[in-house]
Each structure stands twice: as structure tokens, then as C-alpha cells.
A and B are shown apart, each in its own frame.
Chain A
Amino acid sequence: MSLMTTTPVQPDAQPADDSLSIIQRIQQGLETTPEIHPALAQESSILEIERFCLWYTKAQAIFSLSMGIPRGKVTALIGPSGCGKSTLLRSVNRLNDLIDGVRIEGRMLLNGESIYDPAVDVIDLRKRMGMVFQRPNPFPMTIFENVIYPLRIDGERRRSVLVEACERALRGAALWDEAKDRLNESALGLSGGQQQRVCIARAIVAEPDVLLLDEPCSALDPIATLRIEELIHEISERYTVLIVTHNMQQASRVSDYTAFMYLGRLVECGPTVDIFQNPRLQETEDYVTGRFG
């Protein structure tokens, strides 16, 4: 049991009983301190999460979670299902506002600006973040209209701008060669993997600061998954990516940093190589090797 807290984010709670593992402590609802690798502290964060708690009506889904998302890097969120990964992701672009009875505490800062400040225009905030969901959800429109949707709602009318942006986004989503002759066909006629790439194109067409991917490959076959993974790799050169994934190999392949969550809490967070090859916590190792979770 090696509890080496390098960056103590929770000053108040110090473990009283060293004999319990962190997982057991979480299961018992005790305070825990996440294991955060020092490498993370050297990165500049585009998104700073500070003691973030979230409740669905009465049920708490996220417990005082603190971490930074490094700028220009791919950060993977892993953890067993139901641990609050999607919830955390949806909190970043305030999509949870749409659900009645959601309450939060703590802060999230995007470029130092509080996301949950009443003065923040949530529409504007969401425009600065692209989001891709678990299931491909293209609109029942043409591929072209799907991709440029964020620009359309932004009031962009100039055809030339739209066409150019569409091509850029589709190239970015590695769909241009397949789709360039079918831009005016329905996006619903594409395969699952192509649909998901349309959604990625839609997410990047407005040049967002952060790209939020919620298990983007879970509904796809292995080949499509591979293409999307390559794509995430390419995209990561230009954007900060926060990706939720169920798949350990995927996390290790695509991400620079990995955060392991369990029951709404952060357990360990650090460079992906360290998390997968040299985790500080036994539990993390158990999880990433599939012995637990």
C-alpha cells in the first residue's frame, strides 16, 4: 500500500485507517485522496476541475473531483461503467443543464474562466467545445448540412465559407475521400463508422478549444474503431481531447494522460505510459489489466 500523495488536493481528509485499500475506502464512502502523478502538474491545464460534485436529484454521481486537463493533449477517462465518466464529460459543456434536478458544487474553469458562472453564455460555451457521443447521432439531413450544423446555427450564410469549412472538417475527420461525392445524400445512409466520423467532423467544424468524446467507438466494429483511433491521433495535434473509453487498449493507444475513476471519484491520474505500465496503485493495475472492474 503506497500512498504517496504528491499533490494533495484534499487537505482536510487524511486516511485514519491505513489498512483499507482506496477502493474499499470508496466503497465505504470514506474520504479518499487521489493519486496524481507529478508529470501532470507540469502541464498547463486548459480545463481545471476543482472539487467538483454533482447530484442527480438526490443521488450523488461525482464526489469532490479535482484534476486538470492538459492543453493540447489527449486525456482518457477510464473506469467501470456507471462511475460517472459521461457525467463528468457532460458537465464540462453543461449538457447536464438539460436534465432536471441536476445540482453541482465546486468549480470548473475553462481557460481560467468559470464554466458555471451565471454570466457565462452557455450557448457560447458549448460552441467552444465539440462533443461526440457514444452512439453516432447524425441529424436526418444531408452529410453537408450535418457537418456545417454548428456554423448554420451560428448564422453563417455564405455558401463558400460553408463549403470550405465542410471540406476542412471532413478531411479532419478522414471522411472526405469517401463522402466528397455524396455530400448531398442523407447522412443516415452511411455506415456506423462513417456516421461517427460525420459526428466528429461536426464536432470540429467550428474549431473548438476542447473536443469531448464519450466512448466514440463503442458502437462500432473493430475496423471502424481503428480508423477513429487513428483519427483521434491526428486530431490531437490541433485540439485538446477528453475521451471516455471502456477499452483499455484504446486508452493506451490514443491518450497522453489517463484518469482512472471509480464510483464518482478520481483514483489515479497520470501519463498513460505510467498508468498502464507502472501504476502507483495496485487497484489501478488490477483494473487496467482486467483483473477488476
Chain B
Amino acid sequence: MVWLLGAALVLNIVMIGALLGLIAVEGMRAFWPHPIEQVTLRTGERFLGVPVREEAFEVSAQRKRELLARVEAGEIAPETTASDGRPMRRLYRIGNRDLGQQPFRWVEIENLESAERPDEAVFVERIAWGVFLGVPEAVVLQTLAPAPLDAEGSPMLGAPAEGTVDEDGATIRLTRELRRIEVEAGVFEPFVVTRRYLAEGAAETMRLLRELIPEAAQRREHLRGLRRSKIGPINAAMTHLRERVTEAEIKLQRAEAGGARSTPAVVWFGALAAAGALVVGVGRASRRARKSGRRPTPLAQMLSHAGVVLAVGLVLFVWLERPVGGSMTPERYDHIVADAAARQAELEVEYDAVAAEIEEVREIDSQFRVIIRDPAADRFAPERQSTPDEPMRISQIVRTVQPNTLSAGDRLGLYLARWWEFIADDPREANTEGGVFPVIFGTVLLTILLTIVVVPLGVLAALYLREYARQGVVTSFIRIAVNNLAGVPSIVYGVFGLGFFCYTVGAYVDAGPSGATQLPVFQWWFLVGAGLAIVIAAGSVGILSTRKPGQVDSRGYKALRITSTCAWIAAFGIVAAMFVTTPYFHGFFEARLPDPTFGKRGLLWAALTLALLTLPVVIVSTEEAIAAVQPSLREASYGSGASKWQTIKRVVLPGAMPGILTGMILAMARGAGEVAPLMLVGALKWAPELPISLDAPFLHLDRSFMHLGFHIYDLGFQSPDSEAARPLVWASTLLLIAVILLLNLTAIMLRARVRRKMGSGHF
């Protein structure tokens, strides 16, 4: 038996170890630089490529025999086939997608004439269009000048097409060319394009590039910074202005349609006074009761309960029917509109200034170009696919590597630099290049949010179940239901989240109750009145049904208690109905409609959905932890005269804290790794903005986000270029596991601290 158990354990460990090992190895390998080969095929075709991997592929049995025979005869090299005669092939990454080729290419070894590793071959990682493999040719300074016109008014070069200039003691070749360039949409004007060849030849070009690439990167960052921190806020401010005007417009319409408040001032002031009197009266009575050391009589309890409920109702009335504020007059509206127009004009001026600055930097940037030629196609890397004769700008380059000349140290440095880029940068090229910073950020933020939501919720539920609810059929049933919730497929939570949170609650937050469910004011207050009455009744029956000390429940008490519970449930129903039918609430983001703000997928709803999904874990572990708190400690607390809540707060919760944190850890682990529901409620393939920013409200819970789990799925199975994405899938997987591990380690350390404090007595 012990052997069987041991074997099972070993099997498990081996499986988990193999999985983690595979991910670790593949993930670590992802960014290792590989050499570039100059491939010559037997057909005479030549191209540059980075060998990715080799494999044997299936062919007919006859062909296998044929191949084996040829190998035996010494006609072809043995590495051409696998030992069983299947031919081998090699996958090359050839990049250069903008020259119109597939970026990966299989080559049968049989067809391979030779594969050399030329020193000058360069691997260019670019901002767009993926990698480019080629040979560096020249660095070009390209300037534009309006073309002079000849006597007939047609443009001319005005100088020889080729020549040299002497600059800084060096002789620089230059070329001139006449070109029609689009200055505005549809308007072409003739320009003279002058190209100065600042460096020529592979070695010279690479040397100069090493200087120019960091400068270009600086310009790129500068431009990005301008767009992000200047243009972004200006746009946001303009949107905000428009919203303010729209909001004022809506309010004005509503005021004109509905007229002023219908409540007579006498009624309103009466309600205000009554509410004040009730609050003061109940407060005093309860203070007096607390001092006396005797419990108030049931009648007094019922009266004070009714008093509190009525006070709440009156305060609600006083607030909703308040005669001041909130209404819009035509004068105020005009004022807002004028204000907005003035501010808008200011913003436009600001905008123009920034736009001019951007244009200036772009102009400088567009002068620095590099010619990197693909020898097979005899074409250079273009600025855009549509402009094949414009060499690319240096600022389009992220990094150039000549992998065939790298030393071991260079390789390691490059490897680390690529990892850093992966962790710290934004994704590019449909996520198949660049980094995953927003993805990591989204994952961590989502996990933190879901933890913030689920832990209090789960702990409260568990506390109620364990400490307050009467243990019986109902609580057992609830416990079973909670346990079963843990087994519901997560996609179901996604569907629920989308339908309930995004489209129902979210739409409510945006626009308030839909017109169809809104009740007229009078009827709504009738509903509120019914709700208050039911709450008063429920509370009173509950007070009546409290057990006399030292007595067990008689059947009558039980009936009263069940009545009270049912009444409370009805009261909750009415409160929900009040929300759904209120004529007072029109949403927080009415002005942005029809664009939804919260009525769509977003971070908040994703966090809530995942919180729901992980709730059972927290409830179950908290309940266990609460049950495990020693009864003798509770007795000590009660015996010292502590109330139930004081005992919970000071003895039960601290004692259960490690267990609660265990639940939190499990919930975090489950939530961070969940993907299916996120696909429905908020994770996007590409979310341009982080869910936090420097402008209020800083944390944008309405925004979509990126998530590592979804990112892996998207890269691996939805990517246009799955070969290119392959190493990133492994790297992302490794990262996801690392992130979850890190989050868990943090939580585990927190738990250890709590345990230590409990042991040493400070909590």
C-alpha cells in the first residue's frame, strides 16, 4: 500500500515538475539571440534566415525507402533524413513582412545547398512590421526642399542628380531626386529630395547607427510623451467640456418638462423637523438604555426600531425632495455654455502649440534614415509598405543585432535587455512583439481588486453563517449551495457577469433605471412607504421572537421568527424594487450616452465576476477557521462581559486570521489564473490605456484591461503570426506563473507575519 501511495505522490510531483520545467526552459529560451544564415538552395535561390527548429515530416513509405537508399549510396548527407527515412526540414525566420513575404519558411534539408553565417547580416527589430533581415548599406540624411520651377513653370532639380559635398572635412556623396509629395490630403507638390550618405558600407553604417539609434529613440519617446501627457489631457478636457454642456442641456430639458419640485414647502420642512426630532429622540433613548444596565422592554425596542426606520425614510424624503440645488435654469445653462466655449478656445490654442512642436520633432526625425537591404529581393526596408523607395527612419528601429559576430557577453546582455523590454514595454505588432507591461499590470491590478472585494464579502458571509445564523436545515442548505458554486464552470460566471454586471448594473450606473420601469413620483413613495412598513413589521416580529433567557424555542417563537425572516426578505425585495423604479436617479454618466461608461466590459465588472467566482473558497476557509477558534477563548471573552460582536472582533477574527488569509491566497491564485470569464467581462487583446492615470479619478474601473491569461490564449491561438508569437507564449506563461507566485508569496508572508504576531501576542 505504501508503495502505491508513494508512487502516486511521485507521479504527481513528476507531472507538476515536468510542466513547470517545460515552461521554465521554453520561457527562458524565448529571447536568446540566434545566428542568421545565408541560405542557398539547390535551385539557386538565396535568402537570409534565422533557423528556428528542425523536424522530420511524414511522407509516403516509398519515398522514405528511396531516401534511405540514397543516403546509403552516399548521394545525400545522412542529416537529410531521420533514421526512419523521413525527410528533415528546417524552419527559418525570414522576416521582411513589408516586402510582401511570409515571415517564416520551411526548407527541406535535401534542397539545401549551403548555409553560411555572414558577419554583416543584421537582425533589425522594428516598431512596426516585425523583424527585418538584411545587410546594412548606408545611413542617409534626407532633406526636402520645394522644387524650383523652370521657365515654363514645371519643376526641376536645379542641380546635378549626383554629387559630393564636403562637410566637417569629410567628402559625402549625395543624390537629388524630384518627387511629388502629398502636402495636404489630395494636394501634391513637387519637391527636391536630397540624400546625403553619411555612412556607406556595412561596418560604417553599423558604427553610425550605434550613435544614431539612441538619439532616434529619444525623439520617439519625446513624441510619445507629447502625445500622452499633452495631447491626451487636452482631448480629455475637451470631452469633459462637451459632457458638461450635454449634462446641463439634459438638466434644462428635465427642468422645463417636469417643472419645479411639487412638494409644498410646509410638507418638506415638516419632514425635516420630524426626521431631526426622531434622530435626536432615538439617540437619547438608546443612550439612556445603555447606561441603565437593563435591556429595554420589547415595546421600547420596537418603538426605537420603528423610530430609526422612520427617520431613515424621512431623511431619504428630505434629501430627494430638497428644494435647493440640482435644477437648471436657462441663465445657468447659457452661463455654462459660454464658459465651455471660452475654455474650448483656450484648449485649442494649447493643442495647436503642442501639434506644432510635434510637427517640428517629426520633421527632424524624418531626416534620419537607414538603408538595410534584403539581398534576395534586392530591396531595402521601406518607411512604409506603400512607399517602397523611402528608406525607413532610424527611429523605427528598436534594436539592430549582428548575431553572427556577437561574443558570449554580448549575447547575455542582449538576452537580458530583451527580457527587460518584454517586462517593461508596451506590446507591438498585434502583441507578437514588444513587451507585456500593461498585461502584467492588468493582471496584478485585477487580482488585487478581486481580493479587495472578495475577502470582506466572504468573511462577512462566513461570519453570518457561523456566528449569527441559527444552525439548521437552511444553513446546511446554504453551505451545500456555496460548495457547489465552487464547481460551476467559470465561463458561466462570465456569462452572468456580462449579463448582470455589465449590461444590467452597469447600464443602471450609467443611465439610471430605464424609462419602462420608472414609477411616477407618487407611486414610488407609496412603494417606499410599503417598504418602511415591512421593515418595521419585520423588526418588531423579530424583537418579539427573541428567546427568553433560559428558555428553548416554542413552536410559536419559531413561527414568529420565520415570519420575521420572510418579512426581511420581502423588505430586501422592495429595496431592490425601489432602486429599479426610482424616478430620482438618472445615472452618473448620462451625459456620455449613448457611449456606455460602466455599461460595458471593464475592470470593475471583471473584478466583481472573479470575486463571485472565488467567493466559495473564501467562505469555506473562513468558516473553517472560525469554527477552529478555541471555544475556551470565546468563553473567556463572553465571561469577561463582551458582546457577541466584541468577541468576534477581538477574539474570533484575529484567531481566524491565518485561515482567512489562506482563503485569500487560494482565491487570489484561482482568480489570477482564470481566463474564460475575463474574455466575456473585460479583458481585451489590446487595451491602449492603463486602468490608472494621473487624472481624476486615477483608478479607472470602467476601462478595459489586458490580462496575462487571456494574452497567452490570444498570442497562441488568435495571433496572425503564430510562429512569431510562439516564444512569447512561453515567456508570457512563465511570467504569469511568476506573477501568481509572487502575489501568493506576498500573501503567504503576510500570513506568516500574522501567525508570528499571534504567537507573540501583538495583533
Q: Interface on A for B, CB 8 Å cutoff?
A: 54, 57, 93-98, 100-104, 116-124, 126-127, 129-131, 133, 135, 137-143, 145, 149-150, 152-154, 184-189, 199, 202-203, 206
CA distance A104 to B550 in the complex (A): 5
| Of A96, A116, A140, A142, most B-chain CB atoms within 10 Å | A140
| Of B294, B295, B641, B643, most A-chain CB atoms within 10 Å | B641
Q: Write out the residue numbers on chain A whose beta carbons fall within 8 Å of the beta carbon of B551.
A: 103-104
B235 proximal to A (CB < 8 A) = no
Q: Write out the residue numbers on chain B whose beta carbons fall within 8 Å of the beta carbon of A187.
A: 761
CB within 8 A of B640: which of A143, A153, A188?
A153
0 or 1 for each of B611-655: is its CB under 8 Å from A? (1 = yes): 000000000000000000010111111111111001000110011
Knowing A124-B641, A137-B630, A139-B633 touch, does A153 contact B650 (C-beta < 8 A)?
yes
B53 proximal to A (CB < 8 A) = no
**8 Å CB contacts to A: which residues of B410-464?**
none
CA distance A184 to B762 in the complex (A): 8
Contact B635 A118 (CB under 8 A): no
Contact A118 B642 (CB under 8 A): no
Counting chain B residues whose Cβ lies within 8 A of the other chain, the interface size class is 20 to 34
With A127-B641, A139-B651, A199-B636 given, can you name 18 additional A-B contacts, CB distance below 8 Å? A93-B639, A96-B550, A101-B552, A119-B294, A123-B641, A123-B642, A129-B639, A133-B636, A135-B632, A137-B632, A137-B633, A140-B633, A140-B761, A142-B762, A149-B637, A149-B640, A150-B641, A153-B642
Contact B549 A116 (CB under 8 A): yes
Q: Write out the residue numbers on chain B whose beta carbons fall within 8 Å of the beta carbon of A206.
A: 640-641
Q: Write out the residue numbers on chain B whose beta carbons fall within 8 Å of the beta carbon of A131.
A: 635, 639-640
**Closest A residue, CB atoms, query B470:** A100
Knowing A118-B548, A140-B655 touch, does A150 contact B640 (C-beta < 8 A)?
yes
CA distance A176 to B633 in the complex (A): 23
Contact B633 A103 (CB under 8 A): no
**8 Å CB contacts to A: which residues of B540-562?**
548-552
Knowing A101-B552, A103-B551, A153-B650 touch, does A121 contact B295 (C-beta < 8 A)?
yes
Contact A118 B640 (CB under 8 A): no
5 closest A-B pairs by CB: A186-B761, A127-B641, A104-B550, A131-B639, A124-B293
Contact B643 A153 (CB under 8 A): yes
Report 5 cross-chain contacts, Cβ distance below 8 Å, ordered by A residue.
A54-B550, A104-B551, A120-B295, A131-B635, A188-B759
**Closest B residue, CB atoms, query A128:** B641
Q: Write out the residue numbers on chain A whose beta carbons fall within 8 Å of the beta carbon of B293.
A: 121, 124
Q: Write out the residue numbers on chain B whose beta carbons fall within 8 Å of the beta carbon of A186.
A: 759-762
Taking the nearest CB of chain B, how far is it from the CB of A290, in angstroms? 30
B763 proximal to A (CB < 8 A) = yes
Q: Write out the residue numbers on chain B whose beta carbons fall within 8 Å of the beta carbon of A203.
A: 639-640
CB within 8 A of A123: which of B550, B643, B654?
B643
Contact A97 B550 (CB under 8 A): yes
B60 proximal to A (CB < 8 A) = no
Contact A98 B638 (CB under 8 A): yes
What total count of A-B pairs have CB within 8 Å? 123
0 or 1 for each of B370-397: is its CB under 8 Å from A? (1 = yes): 0000000000000000000000000000
Contact A120 B294 (CB under 8 A): yes
Contact A126 B640 (CB under 8 A): yes
CA distance A98 to B644 in the complex (A): 10
**Closest B residue, CB atoms, query A122:** B549
Knowing A94-B549, A142-B762 touch, does A137 contact B643 (C-beta < 8 A)?
no
Q: Write out the residue numbers on chain A whose beta carbons fall within 8 Å of the beta carbon of B294.
A: 119-121, 124
Contact A141 B552 (CB under 8 A): no
B758 proximal to A (CB < 8 A) = yes
CA distance A188 to B47 in the complex (A): 77
Q: Write out the residue numbers on chain B whose beta carbons fall within 8 Å of the beta carbon of A143.
A: 761
Knowing A95-B635, A126-B641, A133-B632 touch, does A119 contact B759 (C-beta < 8 A)?
no
Contact A141 B761 (CB under 8 A): yes
B407 proximal to A (CB < 8 A) = no
Contact A102 B640 (CB under 8 A): no
Contact B550 A102 (CB under 8 A): yes
Taking the nearest CB of chain B, how far is it from the CB of A70, in angstroms? 23
CA distance A39 to B641 in the complex (A): 33
Taking the nearest CB of chain B, how far is it from the CB of A147, in angstroms? 11
Taking the nearest CB of chain B, how far is it from the CB of A117, in angstroms? 8
B297 proximal to A (CB < 8 A) = yes
Q: Write out the residue numbers on chain A whose beta carbons fall within 8 Å of the beta carbon of B762.
A: 141-142, 184, 186
Q: Write out the residue numbers on chain A whose beta carbons fall within 8 Å of the beta carbon of B759.
A: 140, 186, 188
Contact B761 A185 (CB under 8 A): yes
CB within 8 A of B638: which of A57, A126, A199?
A126
Contact A97 B549 (CB under 8 A): yes
**Closest A residue, CB atoms, query B649:** A153
Q: Write out the residue numbers on chain B whose beta carbons fall within 8 Å of the beta carbon of A133.
A: 632, 635-636, 639
Contact B646 A153 (CB under 8 A): yes
